[in-house]
Chains A and B, each alone.
Chain A
Amino acid sequence: MASILTNISGAWQYDFVRTALEAGTVCALLAAAVGYFVVLRQMAFAGHALGHIGFAGACAGVVIGCGALPGMLVLNIVAAAGMGFLGKRVQESDLIIGMTLAFALGLGTFFLAMFKGYAGQANVILFGSILSVSTGQLVGMLVLTIVGVVGLLLLFRPLLFATLEPELAEAKGVPLRLVSTLFYMLVAVAVAFASQIVGVLLVFTLLIGPPAIALRFCRTVWPGLLLSVAIGVGVTWATLILAYITDDPPSFWAPTLLFGLYLGSAALTRRRGA
Chain B
Amino acid sequence: MTESAHAITFKALGLRYGDHEVIGDFSGTITPGEFVAVLGPNGAGKSTLLKALLGILPAAAGSIEIFGHHPHRGCTQIGYMPQWRSAGASGSLSGRAYLLAVLDGHRWGFSIPNRAREETVHQALHAVDAESFADRPFSVLSGGERQRISLAQSLLGEPRILLLDEPLLNLDPRRQGELIDMVNDIRRKQDVTVLFVGHDINPLTKVVDRVLYVAGGHAALGTVDEVINTEALTRLYQTPMKVLKIEDMLFILAEDQRVIEHGEHTHQH
Contact = CB atoms under 8 A, between A and B. Distances in A.
Interface centre among B78, B110, B112, B153 (most CB of A within 10 A): B110
Contact of A219 (B74, B93, B153): B93
A157 B104 contact: yes
B100 interface: yes
A158 B55 contact: no
Contacts of A99: none
Interface string B69-111: 0000110001010100000111011101110111011111111
Interface residues of B, number: 35
B49 interface: no
A172 B73 contact: yes
Given A39-B89, A153-B110, A156-B110, A161 B105 contact: yes
**Chain A contact surface mostly:** helix
A207 B107 CA distance: 26
Interface stretch (A60-68, A163-171, A231-239): A163-171
A7 interface: no
A221 B93 contact: yes
B50 to A, nearest CB: 9
Interface residues of A, number: 32
Given A164-B90, A164-B98, A216-B92, A170 B106 contact: no
A157 B111 contact: yes
Interface string A217-242: 00111101000000000000000000
Contact of A173 (B74, B80, B82): B74
Contact of A158 (B90, B92, B98, B108): B108
B101 A155 contact: no
Contacts of B107: 157-158
A13 B89 CA distance: 43
A5 interface: no
B113 interface: yes
B137 interface: yes
Interface in A122-179: 153-158, 160-165, 167-174
A170 B55 CA distance: 10
Contacts of A167: 80, 82
A41 to B, nearest CB: 8
B135 interface: yes
Interface string A60-92: 000000000000000000000000000000000
A174 to B, nearest CB: 5
Contacts of A158: 105-108
A171 B54 contact: yes
Interface in A177-226: 215-216, 219-222, 224
Interface centre among B56, B97, B100, B113 (most CB of A within 10 A): B97
A93 interface: no
A181 to B, nearest CB: 15
A253 to B, nearest CB: 26
Interface centre among B89, B112, B136, B140 (most CB of A within 10 A): B89
A274 interface: yes
A245 interface: no
A41 B101 CA distance: 14
Interface of A: 39-42, 153-158, 160-165, 167-174, 215-216, 219-222, 224, 274
Report the 5 A-B pairs with minimum CB-CB distance, sorted nearest first: A161-B105, A173-B74, A156-B110, A219-B94, A171-B54
Interface of B: 54-56, 73-74, 78, 80, 82, 88-90, 92-94, 96-98, 100-102, 104-113, 135-137, 140, 153
